[in-house]
Amino acid sequence: LFVNIKDVKNLHFSNCEGCTESCCSAPKVSLAPLILDDFEEVYKNFAIQFGYINHELKALFVINSGEGSCKYLEDNKCSIYDSRPPTCKMFPISPFYEEFYINTSCQAVNVHNGEWLCSEGEFSDSFFHKRVENFVEKLDNTKDFLFSIEDDLIPSIEVKGIQLYNYSGTIKNSYIDMHKSSILHLEGDL
């Protein structure tokens, strides 16, 4: 359940001890959306793919194959903690255009215990990531990029019924390079 940060008075984040619904595992999550600015922090560890969510082309990174957990989850801990993707760093906060939402299905989110998460529309610096600065502009840049590649996509794998694609056209830029290098993460265990 997502609630707008403006609609909550005060929330804290305790810890993940005993959580049986890891946010790093299917069926909870298998794909997560990216903006172009995220590519740099993601491509060395995950496959960057393209796919349609609600009929809209998105850049996505593949967390797992639709079963099991992220390959970096070891003993219920993230083994790449400092270089985990921006969306992992901000969880349970997600930006949506100019608004921020809290995923209250995370058991660590609560009213009294743990570090301060958010209060009256503001969230704690510990959950801040530079990706959210000028977020609407970054979303627009990402959309323009996706529009430019849409005609040259070829099918790769399917995750939870969502067909994913690789780029096969002739555009050359750093985002395409990062996408292409990241494809190796589709080989072997995801």
Binding site for ligand SF4 (CB under 6 A): 16, 19, 21-24, 63, 70, 72-73, 78, 80, 84-85, 88, 91, 106-108
Please tell me what DSSP assigns to residue 25.
B
13, two tokens? 């984040």
Tokens 């993230």 correspond to 78
Q: Which is nearer to ligand SF4, 24 or 117 (CB)?
A: 24
Q: Which is nearer to ligand SF4, 73 or 117 (CB)?
A: 73
Residues 6+ apart with CB under 8 A from 188: none
Three-state DSSP class for residue 10: strand
Distance CA 19, CA 178 (A): 33
Q: Which is nearer to ligand SF4, 48 or 88 (CB)?
A: 88
Smallest gap, in angstroms, from Cβ of residue 180 to ligand SF4? 21
Q: Which is nearer to ligand SF4, 104 or 119 (CB)?
A: 104
Whether residue 24 contacts residue 81, with contact meaning beta carbons closer than 8 Å, is answered with: no
Smallest gap, in angstroms, from Cβ of residue 11 to ligand SF4? 13
User: Which amino acid is it at 10?
Assistant: N
Smallest gap, in angstroms, from Cβ of residue 108 to ligand SF4? 4
Whether residue 85 contacts residue 91, with contact meaning beta carbons closer than 8 Å, is answered with: no
Smallest gap, in angstroms, from Cβ of residue 129 to ligand SF4? 13
